[in-house]
Copies of this chain bind each other. A is one copy, B any other.
Amino acid sequence: MLKNILLGALNYQPLTGYQMKQFIENSAGHFWYAQISQVYRTLGKLEDEGLVTSEVEEQESRPDKRIYSITEAGRQMLRQWLAKPMTHLTPSKDELLARLFFSAQLDKETILTQLRIQRSLYAEQLTVFQEVIPAQLAYSQQHQPERARDAILWDCARRNGELGVQVMLQWLDETIQRIETEFED
């Protein structure tokens, strides 16, 4: 799967491994993440499979850059992945819910503290979707007005993040209140 995401990024322009890691953090962070070491290894595999090529650019006072480009075979792979219908829901893992599910043995205050910490983390995350990313999208739209379709889809992804965070905040408020009133200690 990371392979497809790297191909997707390289489909716009050639990038180094380091830049791809940044791309994932800044643009795709809401629906994907990867360690930098994994990015490098995955790029190596993509190159072995002939889906990308690389060339080294020498630099002074910095390590040389290895710049990756997508090949025609890579583009075909990407298109294949995108067009193949997805007939399942992406399964998800959520540590907070896993903990809460088994937390009946904890005392009330420990649970509430946990939930309040998460609430503040989500509140912070909301500004990313409502302020940071919109600013980024506005900028890239000004500089690349020909990418109108991308702009729409990127904003749809952003909106998904915004709604997801809002619903978590709503749920956390509901849940905190419920535990405050329904739990005896």
Contact = CB atoms under 8 A, between A and B. Distances in A.
A1 B95 contact: yes
A102 B82 contact: yes
Interface string A14-41: 0000000000000110111100000000
A170 to B, nearest CB: 7
A118 B103 contact: no
Given A31-B101, A156-B100, A85 B125 contact: no
Nearest to A99: B82
Interface stretch (A47-55, A56-64, A109-117, A131-139): A109-117
B86 A117 contact: yes
A105 interface: yes
Interface string A70-113: 00000000110111011111111111111111111110001001
Contact of A149 (B4, B104, B149): B104
A11 interface: yes
B92 A86 contact: no
Given A5-B102, A86-B95, A166-B167, 13 more contacts: A8-B102, A11-B102, A30-B97, A31-B92, A78-B102, A82-B99, A82-B106, A89-B125, A100-B156, A101-B157, A104-B147, A156-B175, A159-B175
18 contacts: A1-B93, A5-B102, A8-B101, A28-B98, A28-B101, A31-B94, A32-B94, A33-B93, A82-B99, A82-B105, A82-B106, A82-B110, A85-B113, A86-B114, A86-B118, A100-B157, A104-B147, A104-B153
